[in-house]
Amino acid sequence: MDDNRIIKTEYSEEMQKSFIDYAMSTIIARALPDVRDGLKPVQRRTLYDMYELGIRYDRPYRKSARIVGDTMGKYHPHGDSSIYDALVVMSQDFKKELPLVDGHGNFGNIEGDGAAAMRYTEARLQKVTQEAFLGDLDKDVVDFVPNFDETEKEPSVLPVKIPNFLVNGSEGIAVGMVTSTPPHNLGEVIDAMKAYMRDESITTAGLMRYMKGPDFPTGGIVTNKDELLKIYETGVGKIKIRGKVEFERLKGGKTNVVITEIPYPMIGMNISKFLSDVAGLAETKKTQDIVDISNQSSKEGIRIVIELRKDADAENFVNLLYKKTRLEDTFGVNMLAICSGRPETMGLKAVLKANVDFQFQIATRKYTNLLAKEMERKEIQEGLIKACNVIDLIIEILRGSKDRNMAKNCLVEGKTEGIKFKSKESRIMAEQLRFSEKQANAILEMRLYKLIGLEIEALIKEHENTMASIYRYEDILERRDSMAQVIINELDSFKKEFARRRRTAIENLGEAVYKEKEIEETEVIFLMDRFGYAKTVDTAAYERNKEAADAENKYVFSCKNTGKVCLFTSTGQLHTIKVMDIPFGRFRDKGTPIDNISNYNSEKESIVCITSQTELNLRQVIFVTAQSMVKLVDGGEFDVSKRTVAATKLGEGDSVVSVMPLTEQRSVVLRTKEGYFLRFSIEEIPEKKKGALGVRGMKLGAKDAVEDAYYIKNGEEVIIEYKDKPLALNSLRPGKRDTKGTKKS
């Protein structure tokens, strides 16, 4: 290879340049809308292609696959799915305030079901798209640029006559920036734009007298009205929105909570998430008011019905939904758009200014072009009228000329050489003719029937209309007030035909307050069998079945139903469980696996001790580890709010063997894997913080480890089974902590 063709460059510089090029391409040519037409490139190209294909609102639908293929081949050389997705979204009335595409077939629904494949669906332009977005494309009002392979021309922006960036909103993720603009009511946006045109010094607060705030297609209630002014001044903020709820009172004191409108962010799969969240409130006992929940939504609208039990506080329950589910949600506003070729975060006034300036630009180009055409028409009309007055002379010139050029030269320049005239007077008159080039061509192409009296009258009338149009266009171009009035008249016509009533209410509502019902504190018995199934039962039920309960369960103790159960594990973790989260039922109920109601993982750790937090608060707790570390910890340290905390510090490779709340125990016996026993007084064990390692309980051999610990009260006989023989721990000679102990065979 020729060395001269190798370009040497710094790797970091090349990466930086390439990434910047990619980022700018994504920002400018893919992800962000233009503030003037409110469209991303894929949307603009799709609509323009439909316009080019003639798929108008008053013509038959065409297959979506045809539209997608044509757009991809001519203007948008990316994946077909991105084009079809854009087409689908522009047709969905639950996502767009003003759908731009009229879809025929399955174009998805509000519950998140996707559209059918493009080969099955059909589409055409909406009337508003045809008139307000594409109506003036044939009047050379916007610049056309070459497409990706320079075989076609496409508009750099559509001549949209309404502030579509505000009306339909926009969402997009670029590199290092995101746009998120809520939809607004068409009529209100037009009123705000007119107010700005009448007074460009108007404040954002003044504009918001016309445009109250966002208007989501799904309705709902905006709850932070007072914060909207700052959001629209800066273009950034958070809009809080709630679903709309109605109450249906039924016989027998029951109430149905019916959700008829949902927050805009809940569109799609979040509806099913909401239903599962509501069901979860019942399963986790956050509320016991729910009897049934059903989604009765249809094409007519949203209808989610939650049936409450008799005498439930429905309003308090709805406040729970607002706090714990997405029935109250947040829409993050970041009004970022391409303005003058660069991304810019814009407030309401800046957006309206950009749109008004754009309207004046396209109106100036439109009426400049229309004026030029009318001036050309005027020139030809005046030539034809003048020709009709001297038609006999013109016929004489035509009959006396040898060819078209000779006749044309006579009409334009008065040249009579070579033309046969009937008289000298005719030649003199012909020499005085001075028609323009265009007038001469029109005269030469004029048909004889145009000489009929009525046709001449029609020509004169047409000339009068042309002159009226010229005066009108000149007035529009010369006086800004006249052009503004034309723009306002167009806006009024769009408002009258396409605007609809507001769907989203805007209010100032305080934060939802849910009052938890005060639970009557009672004593219950916690039971957990050797398989890890836990439950709580009434104390009376336990007393009736005490013998069976003690025999069948590994852990049995009393606790308050408002308290917590503490679960210590071999890995040194403490998992707390609210007693209310443990299923309460009959004695013979199976219970629930302890894994399901806590963070305990039976595959990674084993349970060392379970007790009530109330019991711990009154005691000291002794810890014993496999590496023979022991310590006492004040039980109050385990009164924690988190579901999982570290209960003790462990050395490398160590694990917890025993945890015991102390009552009347006076001595502890440690047993090792190799059969060593050491009995010593608990008084020898120092009290430490839960984050401490502790002190050594007994000396261990190189491969030995503590396997168990036993606790003895004064005067109590404790007998264990060791190597198939009974062993009385009281008979062990008391020793000192940190000694080797006695080996038993």
Indicate which residues carry an active-site annotation. 120
Q: CA–CA distance from 118 to each of 81, 104, 418, 445 (Å)?
A: 9, 11, 70, 51
In terms of Cα–Cα distance, which of 401, 408, 471 is closest to 436?
A: 408
The answer to whether the CB of 661 falls within 8 A of the CB of 619 is yes
The answer to whether the CB of 615 falls within 8 A of the CB of 663 is no
Q: Is 542 exposed, middle or buried (0-12, 13-18, 19+ CB in 10 A)?
A: buried
Separation CA 593–CA 604 (nearest Å): 16
Separation CA 100–CA 76 (nearest Å): 19
Separation CA 274–CA 34 (nearest Å): 34
Percentage helix, strand, coil for the chain under 3-state DSSP, each rounded to 5: 40, 25, 35
Rg of the chain over CA atoms, in angstroms? 43
> Cβ neighbours of residue 513 under 8 Å, at least 6 residues apart?
319
> Cβ neighbours of residue 510 under 8 Å, at least 6 residues apart?
none
Separation CA 579–CA 561 (nearest Å): 5
> Cβ neighbours of residue 338 under 8 Å, at least 6 residues apart?
27, 28, 32, 33, 34, 35, 344
In terms of Cα–Cα distance, which of 739, 734, 33 is closest to 339?
A: 33
In terms of Cα–Cα distance, which of 689, 690, 687, 709 is closest to 698?
A: 709
Q: How many CB atoms within 10 Å of residue 517?
A: 10
Give the SS3 label for residue 174: coil
Q: CA–CA distance from 327 to each of 242, 271, 338, 345, 404 (Å)?
A: 6, 9, 33, 29, 81
Q: Are strands 676-681 and 665-672 parallel, antiparallel or unpaired?
A: antiparallel
Q: Are strands 505-506 and 221-222 parallel, antiparallel or unpaired?
A: parallel
Separation CA 171–CA 263 (nearest Å): 16
Q: Which residues pair with 295 in a beta bridge?
A: 304
Separation CA 600–CA 594 (nearest Å): 7
Q: Which residues pair with 743 in a beta bridge?
A: 676
Q: DSSP H helical segments within 579-650, as ranges? A: 613-617
The number of residues in the chain equals: 745
